[in-house]
Structure 1
Amino acid sequence: MHMQDRKISTGVVPYRRNSLKIAALIWFCLSGIPAFAQTLTVVRPSRHAQSHRLSDIRGGTPAVNGPTEIKLFRANRLKGTESGSGGGTLPDPTIQTSFGPLINATPGISFDGTDVFHAGYIPSDSNIAVGPNHIVETVNAAYTVYSKTGALLFGPNSIRSLWTGLGGACSASDGGDPIVQYDRAADRWMITQLGSLSNPYSECIAISTSPDPMGSYFLYSYDFGLYLNDYPKFGIWPTATNSAYLASYSLFLLASLSAGSEICAYDRAAMLAGQPDAMGLCYSGVIADVLLPSDTDGSTPPLDGTPGYFLNLYSYSSLALFKMTPNFAAATATLTQDSIGIASFSEAPPAPQPGTTTTLDSLGDRLMNRLAFRVFPDHESMVVNHSVAVGSRSGVRWYELRGPVSAGAGFSPYQQGTY
């Protein structure tokens, strides 16, 4: 196993990341400015290793017991005058008023995934990735591999068992917020989780060494120091040069005080090669709300030089689109921002539960994973959705943003609706 101290620099003078963020946070609180000064940081893994094949990992079966409810960390509410209570105070001009034509759909395979007792936490944060021959599922405390016919091939195993050879928090804790991705362009798999729910905080990233999700993985841990890197989301960005694994985090100082968001571009080529010092280029203080990274669908990659996109539900009538262009050879990046107007909406109300007055958070203040990006012959498209209020009920607002096929041209709403 290769281990090294965390390296942090701006590309000019090294500095301490925690000190800078705390100073920026104090400035933010005193000034009342709605966003931090955006700071570029170069990060290196604090730990690196290569795992055994999954079939050789022992003792990784998660405990079978009742799941534990986990705290929801929330940053600032949306900008604007809407109360955010789901009262439906803003008119929605995009509500669907008629049904589309009926279509015949052929049922596919249906099978049970990981059960609630292995999930570890409520909510389970379940998600899957589908490759040519396998399906990989992650929940908050376990991961499982299936065949495309639904046959159980591996697991459910505790997620921390994947990082056994790495040591540190990644191998000691099922930190939660897992993400699994299939990197179609490289025919590889990515599995991530939080390193710990207590200080010091970190993000654990595993990249398969081959197309076989049952094989071994390159293991990485990236430190966040005093800041809980909550709600991590990842996107595959396979440009010809400076290809990246895009990531976004909501930062909370000591898991308490919101410190804005951080967006990162990790050196995809270096991680696919298992290089121990795979670089991350990260902007902190971007915006005090959740962002989603663009995630490539289809067989056509983004044009070389296309920036990685990060989209935010900024207000009750606008989206904020950030464009990050990494340069790993020079250890630097650029970041620009566009505002995209959308039809007005109100946040979805909390969801009632039978037998109790306790409601469930609708998460109507943020876009839902994923921000799916696809290149078509004559345009580029991104689609995404979030929960909204439809009178006293909840609905789904969806958007298709389009732009020309180019390296970083602007996007605008092509269509949107509330279902």
Structure 2
Amino acid sequence: MKHFYPHDLKKAQLLTCFLVLLSFSCSFQVIGQEKKKPTVIRKMRLVREVPSLASQLKKGTFKAVEKSNNPQEINPKRRRANQVVPGKGLPKDGDPLLKKQTEKEKTDAKSYSLEPLQVFEANTSNFTPSDPTGAAGPNHYVAAWNVGFKIYDKQGNELVPQASLGTLFEGNTAGDPIVLYDAPADRFIITQFENEDESDADNDFENGLNIAICQGSDPVNDGWYIYTAGFETGAFPDYPKYSVWHDGYYVTSNIAISGGDATGDAVFVMERDQMLQGLAEVGFLGFPLPTLQRAGFYSPQFFNVSTSEAPTTGGATVVYYQDDAWSGVDDDHLKLWTVDVDWDTPENSSISQPELISVSDFNGVFDGGSFSNLPQPAGAEIDAMQGTVMNQAQFRKFDDHNSAIFNFVVNVAPLGEEQAGIRWYELRQTGDGQPWTIYQEGTYVSPTGNNAFGASMAMDGAGSIAMGYTTVSADLPVTLNFTGRYTNDPLGEMSVPEAFLATSTGASTSERYADYTHLTIDPADDETFWFISEYFNPQRTDIISVFKLASDNANDVQTISIDSPEDGALTSTESITITIRNAGNTTQTSIPVSYTVDGTTVNETFTGSLAFNESVSYTFTQTADLSNIGEEYTITATTNLENDEDTTNDSMSTTVQNLWQNNVGVSSIDNPQSDSGLGAAIPITVTVTNFGQADQANFPVYYSINDGEQITETFDRTIAAQTSESFTFNATEDFSAIGSYEITAGTALETDSDTSNDEISATVTNDYCQPVSNCSGFGDGVTEISLEGTTITTACSATGYDADLDTVFDLDIQENAYTGMLEVGYQNSNYAIFIDFNNNGGFEASEMVSNGNVLFADTAEEFELELPEGVALGTYRMRVRGQDSNEEGDVTDPCGDLAYGRTNDYSVRIFNSLSVEENIFPDSELVILEPEQNHFQISLSTQETTEKMAVTVYSILGQKLAENWIENEYGSYVYDLDMSYASSGVYIVRIGNRNGGQSKKIIVN
């Protein structure tokens, strides 16, 4: 595990933390730095009191949502200069916590499953995204989305029709709502953005937040207090997230802040006690987030009190993650700040310097930080919602500790690939106001292999954690699911198998998806979860799901696996081993179990004790007779608890086979393989497998090519049962001609009991000739070639031929003609370069793109390469040949042998750096300077536009590495690009937007 320390910690502090790190985790407060005082101290405004929704419906003043026929994006995400550094950050080889979860999923694949209690649609939205949010109270569920909300009873019945947010916030439907249930106060809260109202003379703020607090516990029949929090700096409080704490309502926002130290307003707090009373004098404070690093868009979260028991002391904690792929971050970690509020003397309020907690490495970057990441079967690639601690970070008290849980999306794939997973945490403190440490951390991936993201977490009264989330892939439309873990599960694992909620019938036409989802615990029983998210049916629709992890049954024992026997040499005394689980909430002892084989049932008793969610392996005392060779046996295992309340999960069955004594076959054809140096006398090598239970020797093995003559030889040694061995035929075959060959190979054991696995076929293709030459004596041929930023030292193989197709030379078709450099290893050498433009497996004379003579050895000389007109974009094979011109052979013959020289094949990619986009800066030039190695200054001066533009960095293969948004300052766009962590090679830099832009290449050395 890597650890992050501030550079100014004393050695003694480092030593102390190092010793602590020998345990599960280390967390510490940065010391020697002062707390920050509020940057904003002022009062909020009580705008009005609004009558109950019931009375509005009765009086006809209720405002329904106005339907729009034109789908539109609402509240676009605000981004600033993205600080992702291409090539920087760990891990490079996938998420280190992934193995633990995937091994758990393999176990649970044959295990129990859960079903939702209710699933119903809340609304269909014409806005993108829909901003789904909702919270459960004792008797109601309040759901909201970008411009409206509904109230339901616990059976999912609609109590109030779809109401406009303007019902509470007169004249304002700006959107981005959040619904909270303030459990200690038993009140519902609905928030949204504040619209500037020019007719309101008392409103001095252009941007702000509206907060509606129910005057009582009934959101239908009680009225509402409406408050406004304004931002006098004019900064827009994008993506606000709210939390309940004992002394305030706390807010985070993706707000414009000054500098990397975040010295401006970043988080806010409202005086909760006064607001609950509807008082006019309500305090409002703003604070910075000291030492915050971010990647453009950012969204921390305050811990939210999710139950009626709030902490009695201690400040509110805000958490954010710091990714070492970002500029200014040396190692992955969590940052926790504590806000202490003094409402009597607001000037005494403060926010701490951050506490840093080391974590297992993660990669939180997708597509260089852009908002278009995850493929669907149709439509745009949708936003993974990176840079976000997902809604909400939930807090709850227990007798001996406090817990806080939260999650964010991570890329779990190795470098260069992408798969979304969910990194989740449970932090604990021993009591109110005490330090937080990691209790458990995990990375969850869908067992289907699809992207998993858009998660929300909550905890029930037993300490079980539920997580609702979304899966999507190029083959699977947006699908909603849930998983979870019980308090006695192994730490860091989600044990509940992926449970299905709903799947889309349509796709998103926009990259924007949901923006957030919301899972809350039902205070009525402290074990039912309510989850709202977004899918497409086929329009963008919010859907509410209700489920539980806790069991309703007191008595429920289930069989979750039959562990042995397995297929093999079975006997007349086979042991039967099963795993049983207590799925009921009452501890069970002396559990009757049984198995049945061939109509015979064996009854026994597990005499131990099982608490809820505990599993145990049990091996029956009485064995089973499974000795008939070749026979398949069906084994059914059952728990027989006398008062079991769910018998549907008591039994499971499996089939095992007593394998044949005599059963061999060819399981693979190993040689030759396509494009592997095929010639005129190639031996055939196969793998022979003994599938049976008896050793075998001296049996026939055969092959044929293209259904031709069958060649039969003898496997003349012993192959043990259940093993495999390689066999090479004495006969050889001619594969030198370009083309495909169908090879069929098999065994012909006379006593073979199962001939279905005797034979196998494979197709082998000889695509390209591999000429022979000698390059080892004097280093003949082309020894080094450099073209368009890629330099390669050519290989000298034993045959003089080598194929390194992983090396790609990139040619921008915009240039058409290219100048490269090459060296030869022997004086007076000729060279020739070919590109197989028609990809037919050979090189025609018309495909020679360069040739010439080099007089001096080991001296770089220029060569010219020109593409023919009309060549298609794509990747082709390029052949580079060089020879001593005084010796036999013709270097311009792509397949001819050379006395002294070498032939090397590479890949060449022909691309269009401008693609099909329009140059929206026709009178301006994109300028790229390199003031120091691998640090580039990107600039473009233009009078065409002043809108925000994106600087995007692509690999030469088109992979997006970073996307950085910049503003026009004094007629220019300027960005400093750090490529010092990137691999050597050619990259594309683009400035523009979705309408077009300009691109140029850079070379990283």
Structure possessing the higher radius of gyration over alpha carbons? 2
Q: CA deviation at 1:55?
A: 2.3
Aligned match of 1:293:
302
What is the correspondence of 1:57-206 to structure 2 with a 5 Å cutoff? 57=56, 58-65=61-68, 66-70=70-74, 71-75=76-80, 77=82, 89=92, 91-95=94-98, 96-98=101-103, 99=105, 101=108, 102-105=111-114, 107-117=116-126, 121-164=127-170, 172-196=171-195, 200-206=206-212
Aligned match of 2:410:
388
Distance in 1 of aligned mates of 2:84 and 2:94:
17
Residues 78 and 314, structure 1, Cα contact 8 Å, conserved in 2: no
Aligned match of 2:268:
264
Aligned match of 1:320:
335
Aligned match of 1:352:
375
Residues 89 and 196 (structure 1), Cα distance of their counterparts in 2 relative to 1, 3 Å cut = farther
Q: What residue identity is the alignment partner of 1:136?
A: V
Aligned match of 2:428:
402
Residues 76 and 190 (structure 1), Cα distance of their counterparts in 2 relative to 1, 3 Å cut = farther
Q: CA deviation at 1:82?
A: 5.6
Residues 50 and 223, structure 2, Cα contact 8 Å, conserved in 1: yes
Q: What residue identity is the alignment partner of 1:48?
A: V
Q: CA deviation at 1:191?
A: 0.5
Distance in 2 of aligned mates of 1:195 and 1:259:
24
Distance in 1 of aligned mates of 2:207 and 2:120:
36
Q: 3-state SS of the aligned residue for 2:240? A: strand
Residues 250 and 261, structure 1, Cα contact 8 Å, conserved in 2: no
Runs of 4+ off more than 6 Å: 78-81
Residues 253-300 of structure 1 show CA distances to partners (whole Å, capped at 9, x for unaligned) of 8xxxx9966212211110000001211122146535321011012343
Residues 43 and 282, structure 1, Cα contact 8 Å, conserved in 2: no
Residues 367-399 of structure 1 show CA distances to partners (whole Å, capped at 9, x for unaligned) of 111111111111111111111112121111111
Q: What residue identity is the alignment partner of 1:398?
A: W
Residues 245 and 267, structure 1, Cα contact 8 Å, conserved in 2: yes
> Matched residues, percent identical?
26
Q: CA deviation at 1:348?
A: 5.3
Q: Which consecutive unaligned segments of at least 5 residues does structure 2 have?
A: 1-35, 198-204, 325-331, 367-372, 445-1005
Aligned match of 1:235:
243
Residues 127 and 179, structure 1, Cα contact 8 Å, conserved in 2: yes
Residues 371 and 384, structure 1, Cα contact 8 Å, conserved in 2: yes
Higher relative contact order (CA 8 A, sep 6+): 1
Q: 3-state SS of the aligned residue for 1:55? A: helix
Q: CA deviation at 1:360?
A: 1.9
Count residues with an aligned counterpart: 360
What is the correspondence of 1:18-33 to structure 2 with a 5 Å cutoff? none
Residues 323 and 362, structure 2, Cα contact 8 Å, conserved in 1: no
Residues 398 and 328 (structure 1), Cα distance of their counterparts in 2 relative to 1, 3 Å cut = same
Q: 3-state SS of the aligned residue for 2:167? A: helix
Return the TM-score normalized by structure 1.
0.79
Residues 302 and 316, structure 2, Cα contact 8 Å, conserved in 1: yes
**2:318 aligned with 1:282:** no
Say which is worse superposed, 363-372 or 207-216, in terms of deviation: 363-372
Say which is worse superposed, 375-384 or 131-140, in terms of deviation: 375-384
Q: CA deviation at 1:42?
A: 1.3
Distance in 1 of aligned mates of 2:306 and 2:62:
36
Residues 366 and 386, structure 1, Cα contact 8 Å, conserved in 2: yes
Distance in 2 of aligned mates of 1:365 and 1:179:
19
Q: 3-state SS of the aligned residue for 1:160? A: helix
Distance in 1 of aligned mates of 2:412 and 2:235:
36
Distance in 1 of aligned mates of 2:340 and 2:402:
17
**2:229 aligned with 1:219:** no
Aligned match of 2:396:
374
Q: CA deviation at 1:329?
A: 1.2
Q: 3-state SS of the aligned residue for 1:271? A: helix
Residues 82 and 346, structure 1, Cα contact 8 Å, conserved in 2: no
Distance in 2 of aligned mates of 1:111 and 1:355:
25
Residues 1-47 of structure 1 show CA distances to partners (whole Å, capped at 9, x for unaligned) of xxxxxxxxxxxxxxxxxxxxxxxxxxxxxxxxxxxx87432121244
Residues 366 and 107 (structure 1), Cα distance of their counterparts in 2 relative to 1, 3 Å cut = closer
Residues 307 and 123 (structure 1), Cα distance of their counterparts in 2 relative to 1, 3 Å cut = same
**2:317 aligned with 1:309:** yes
Q: What residue identity is the alignment partner of 1:93?
A: P
Q: CA deviation at 1:94?
A: 0.7
Aligned match of 1:415:
440
Q: Which consecutive unaligned segments of at least 5 residues does structure 1 have?
A: 1-36, 165-171
Residues 43 and 114 (structure 1), Cα distance of their counterparts in 2 relative to 1, 3 Å cut = farther
Residues 128 and 180, structure 1, Cα contact 8 Å, conserved in 2: yes
Q: CA deviation at 1:48?
A: 2.3
Residues 193 and 208, structure 2, Cα contact 8 Å, conserved in 1: yes
Q: 3-state SS of the aligned residue for 2:307? A: coil
Distance in 1 of aligned mates of 2:85 and 2:392:
25
Distance in 1 of aligned mates of 2:86 and 2:37:
26
Distance in 2 of aligned mates of 1:80 and 1:265:
33
Distance in 2 of aligned mates of 1:228 and 1:126:
21
Distance in 1 of aligned mates of 2:407 and 2:244:
19
Residues 47 and 222, structure 1, Cα contact 8 Å, conserved in 2: no
Residues 227 and 290 (structure 1), Cα distance of their counterparts in 2 relative to 1, 3 Å cut = same
Q: CA deviation at 1:341?
A: 1.2
Q: 3-state SS of the aligned residue for 2:175? A: coil
CA-based RMSD of the aligned residues comes to: 2.5
**2:78 aligned with 1:55:** no
Q: What residue identity is the alignment partner of 1:347?
A: G
Residues 39 and 264, structure 2, Cα contact 8 Å, conserved in 1: no
Return the TM-score normalized by structure 2.
0.34
Aligned match of 2:384:
362
Residues 348 and 390, structure 1, Cα contact 8 Å, conserved in 2: no
Say which is worse superposed, 325-334 or 259-268, in terms of deviation: 259-268
Residues 274 and 56 (structure 1), Cα distance of their counterparts in 2 relative to 1, 3 Å cut = same
Residues 141 and 176, structure 1, Cα contact 8 Å, conserved in 2: yes
Residues 212 and 151 (structure 1), Cα distance of their counterparts in 2 relative to 1, 3 Å cut = same
Distance in 1 of aligned mates of 2:117 and 2:253:
35
Aligned match of 1:32:
none
Q: 3-state SS of the aligned residue for 2:121? A: coil
Q: 3-state SS of the aligned residue for 2:174? A: coil
Residues 112 and 173 (structure 1), Cα distance of their counterparts in 2 relative to 1, 3 Å cut = same
Say which is worse superposed, 285-294 or 388-397, in terms of deviation: 285-294
Residues 265 and 393 (structure 1), Cα distance of their counterparts in 2 relative to 1, 3 Å cut = same
Say which is worse superposed, 223-232 or 292-301, in terms of deviation: 292-301
Q: 3-state SS of the aligned residue for 2:381? A: strand
Distance in 1 of aligned mates of 2:398 and 2:227:
34
